[in-house]
Structure 1
Amino acid sequence: MAKNKAEERQKKIVDLITAQGTMRIADLAAQFNVSRETIRRDLHELDKSGVVKKWYGAVMPAQDFNDAPVAQRMHENESVKIKICQKALSLLAPHSLIFIDAGSTLQTFAKILSDYRDFTVITNSFPVVNELADSNNSIISVGGSYDPLTASTIGSQALNFIDKIKINYALLGTSGFAEHQGPTINSFDGSEIKKKIIENSRVNIVLADSSKASYSSLTQYTDWHNIDYLVTDKNLPPKIESNLSKLTDVIIA
């Protein structure tokens, strides 16, 4: 009987975390009216099975940590990404100095930008460089250690370079933003790059399709108050759009 109750509770835990994203162990204990030790045992079993991931007193869906490589994600929500990128491009003044972040949406942005001219683009993303290589724009590639998951450069060399520049616009990605007060990423090193860019950019723009509202990732790299625009699509749930609009300017593509 006890085993059946534990299995039933664990199933409900998975359903709850899948729906809400990251949750604290203390909140789960209160939700199910059991001790924290009981929840820890439940989470230990779920973690072993690969359903959830424990992280410093919290738990989140395991898939939130499993970003697929950029090339694999390029064709996910492709038509939506194109609309988002076209809308974001309309926010930029001609001939601007811009930073383009790593990620599949930003690679889509670079592909669209390749049909334009006279922008100066700084990027740590190899796919972005490739998309713009034959365009009539100036490209500056940031050096550093190579991150194979995002196909971008990270580390102290990249940070030192970014610390010395000032840019007009930063186009940024996110792995998700459910249950957070800002955009997130699954890499601490990548988070440091984004933080430094935000410090040195006049206008910061996050490009994210509405599915990112249902994912919660490892670390929040900034507050929404530090983001000037979130460009997303019409499928963003109205309640989430309303809440985000209190923190940043939400633009629907």
Structure 2
Amino acid sequence: MSFTEHRLKLILEMLKQSKRVNVKDLADQLHVSQESIRRDLKELETRGYARRVYGGAVLDQQESDQPFPERLRVGAREKARIGEAAAALVQDGMKIFIDTGTTTLACLKHLEARKDLTVVSNSLAVAAHFFNVPQASVRVLGGRLRPEYQATYGHETVAALKEHFFDLAIIAISAIHIERGFMDFGEDEAILRRIARTQAKRSIIVADSSKFSRLGSIHTLALNEIDAVVTSGVIGREFSDHFNQSNVEIIHA
């Protein structure tokens, strides 16, 4: 094992223990320059283990590793604001696709008053929400059930989705990276999201602030392949510049 790899291993162990590390403290402990530590943290971020923040890095726990009920609780207030802003784009009479994901679920209560709304989703949680909303017409895409997502995936789901065309697709995402675009941790999710985008007149990504500057394991969409991003808080200048140059609308919740 090279000296650099050994140092990366030590830093990762510290991250797993404390969830956060500081550049200066690491440099002092490991007897290397702060620039070397910054390069190490960048490498750990590239490998998907860390997310760099001001002055250091935090452990990057993949959202797919967390149980669905736990994901619902994380950043609930932020997701609620995003959900309300995304729902404001839905008009009476629309046919929409709603992706599976905790942020997309935050849209649902704001859609109950819409008239003549058609909702298509692979999410059982989305369908269940509309049990007592008779004015909404709901289609659930068939396929293989994945309990950790409370949703269906696979070739049957893909085939069913391709039969529909939408006024709007509300799409979740696992990570947004300035160089690698919109990313996910699973191939099934990535494939379904690509198809939803192509089947919709307008497609939007809903993403809380934790998704930015993260790395997933699979490329889903380029940053310019979406019509709008609905998020809250302040996003990095590099992202806002890229979206503005690509005519991607940034909707701040």
The question of whether the paired residues in 1 share the 8 Å contact of 2:224 and 2:243 is answered with no
TM-score relative to the length of structure 2: 0.75
The question of whether the paired residues in 2 share the 8 Å contact of 1:65 and 1:217 is answered with no
Aligned counterparts of 1:244 and 1:215: Cα–Cα separation in 2: 17
1:60 is aligned to 48
Aligned counterparts of 2:192 and 2:5: Cα–Cα separation in 1: 42
1:173 is aligned to 172
* C-alpha distance after superposition, 1:110-165 (max 9, x if no partner): 23323433210000001111112211211111100011221111111111111111
1:8 is aligned to 7
Residues 80-91 of structure 1 mapped to structure 2, 5 A cutoff: 80-91=78-89
The question of whether the paired residues in 2 share the 8 Å contact of 1:121 and 1:140 is answered with yes
Instruction: Tell me how far 1:194 sits from its aligned partner.
Output: 1.1
* C-alpha distance after superposition, 1:89-114 (max 9, x if no partner): 22223220000000001111123323
Which of 106, 111, 116 does residue 118 from structure 1 map onto? 116
2:250 is aligned to 250
User: Cα–Cα, structure 1 residues 93 and 3, in superposed 2: closer, same or farther, change >3 Å?
Assistant: closer
User: Cα–Cα, structure 1 residues 142 and 180, in superposed 2: closer, same or farther, change >3 Å?
Assistant: farther
Which of 69, 72, 78 does residue 70 from structure 2 map onto? 72
Aligned counterparts of 1:234 and 1:123: Cα–Cα separation in 2: 28
Residues 152-191 of structure 1 mapped to structure 2, 5 A cutoff: 152-191=151-190
Instruction: Tell me how far 1:6 sits from its aligned partner.
Output: 5.6
Unaligned runs of 5+ in 2: 22-34, 50-59
Aligned counterparts of 1:14 and 1:241: Cα–Cα separation in 2: 34
* C-alpha distance after superposition, 1:199-233 (max 9, x if no partner): 11110010001111032111121112220000101
Instruction: Tell me the percent identity.
Output: 22
Partner SS, residue 79 of structure 1: helix
Aligned counterparts of 2:238 and 2:136: Cα–Cα separation in 1: 40
Aligned counterparts of 1:115 and 1:66: Cα–Cα separation in 2: 32
Aligned counterparts of 2:63 and 2:185: Cα–Cα separation in 1: 6
Partner SS, residue 100 of structure 2: coil
Unaligned runs of 5+ in 1: 20-30, 33-41, 43-51
User: Cα–Cα, structure 1 residues 106 and 243, in superposed 2: closer, same or farther, change >3 Å?
Assistant: same
The question of whether the paired residues in 1 share the 8 Å contact of 2:63 and 2:174 is answered with no
Aligned counterparts of 2:201 and 2:106: Cα–Cα separation in 1: 23
